[in-house]
Amino acid sequence: MPARTKRSGRLAKRKLSKSRFKFGKSLILLLTIFLVLVGLLFAFFFKTSFWGRGERLGLAYTTTTGDIAVSNFDPKLMVISTIIIPKDTEVEVSRSLGKWRIGALYQLGENEKLGGVLLSETITRYLKMPAEAWTSGDAPLTSWLEPIRTNLSLSDRISISIFSLVARPGSQTTIEAVSAGYLKKSRLSDGKLGYVRALETLPFEISTVFADPDISREGLRIEIENRTGSKGIASKLGEIVEVMGAKIFSLEVGEKDDSDCSIFGKRSITRNRLSKIFSCKTYEKSKEQGNFDLIIQIGTGFARRY
């Protein structure tokens, strides 16, 4: 074989070897980038916001008929309890936005740049049904793939969808707020017929849905320190806390300030759920707490959104 042909063959082999080496490096680089992106997406989408550690979850959403539902998920007892509130129920809306039919609250929240927060806040505050999560529809109960607006993470939605499928049919109950005697038919502010609250406190049939056995078992001594300058807010807040199974041992009035909501105390199921439901910052127990396990401190910032 001529020398020139041999040299050409060697050069071709070298080029092929270099080409394969470059291709291998590029493939490894692309694979690394892909794995990093998958990791980032997994960390972003699969973080949990509410659902975790075996705790309960209160979820407010709009049903296909336009009514409002509040579902309480209990992962320990594998129970889903849902309260149905007719869309023509008149409620006093949080953030001093007046009286509205509850079926219009989600859209009102959108208009106010609050999304479903306004719905969950109003249900918690006015109807005394603790709900920390919200969605624009009932998709989390059926399919996590459906596009909705929500404060739940993708992981939360998947967990709820799976839980809704595996929970036994006999463990899923629905309670009509009207049939339970909590709401009654009446003429509303706009002169048309609808529903209004018939009772100041939740009837037993509904209150048992929101009573959390884990919170009751912890039995923490709780104080509410009111720095809002308004007397009624602390007692109304206390009513909701007690619906959940906790006990308020003291209502104190502090110097008025512009703070929002802070909870001081050791980490617990009670502290965790209260912080989510009322959007409070949490801090470890301080020496000033005395005999109280938790101190809920509220200021004028809280009063403006409550």
- Which tens digits make up the pLDDT trace of 127-166? 999 999 999 887 666 666 677 888 988 888 888 888 888 8
Structural domain count, the chain: 2
Write down which residue in 206, 239, 269 finishes a domain: 206
Instruction: Looking at the structure, tell me whether residues 61 and 147 fall in a common domain.
Output: yes
Q: What is the mean pLDDT of residues 51-80?
A: 89
Interhelix angle 117-126/231-243, nearest 10 degrees: 90
pLDDT tens-digit map of 228-266: 999 899 999 999 999 999 999 999 999 999 999 999 999
**Side chain identity, residue 13:** K
pLDDT for the residue 167:
78
Instruction: Looking at the structure, tell me whether residues 181 and 126 fall in a common domain.
Output: yes
Distance of CA 159 to the CA centre of its chain: 13
Query: What is the percentage of the chain residues whose pLDDT exceeds 90?
Result: 64
pLDDT tens-digit map of 193-211: 999 999 999 999 999 999 9
Which CATH number goes with the domain that contains 294? 3.30.70.2390
Write down which residue in 154, 187, 206 finishes a domain: 206
Instruction: Looking at the structure, tell me whether residues 186 and 289 fall in a common domain.
Output: no
Asked whether 167 and 74 are in contact (CB, 8 A), the reply is: no
- Least confident residue range of 53-57, 187-191, 259-263, 292-296: 53-57
pLDDT for the residue 110:
94
Q: Read off φ and ψ for residue 216, nearest 5 degrees.
A: -60, -40
Query: What is the percentage of the chain residues whose pLDDT exceeds 70?
Result: 78
Instruction: Looking at the structure, tell me whether residues 67 and 201 fall in a common domain.
Output: yes
Instruction: Looking at the structure, tell me whether residues 199 and 262 fall in a common domain.
Output: no
Name the nearest CA neighbour of 83 among 61, 113, 99.
61
Q: Read off φ and ψ for residue 185, nearest 5 degrees.
A: -75, 140
Name the nearest CA neighbour of 155 among 38, 71, 45, 273.
45
Between CA 52 and CA 75 the distance in angstroms is 9
Between CA 88 and CA 65 the distance in angstroms is 12
Q: What is the mean pLDDT of residues 86-114?
A: 96
Q: Which domain holds residue 261?
A: 212-305
Q: How far is CA 101 from CA 106, 157, 163, 178, 287, in A?
A: 10, 27, 31, 15, 46
In a domain, 18, yes or no: no
Q: What is the mean pLDDT of residues 78-97?
A: 96
pLDDT for the residue 144:
61
Between CA 277 and CA 131 the distance in angstroms is 6
- Could you tell me the pTM of the whole model? 0.81
pLDDT for the residue 40:
44
Instruction: Looking at the structure, tell me whether residues 230 and 149 fall in a common domain.
Output: no
**Residue in this structure with the two tokens 């490894």, named with its chain if needed:** 28
Instruction: Looking at the structure, tell me whether residues 177 and 218 fall in a common domain.
Output: no
In a domain, 28, yes or no: no
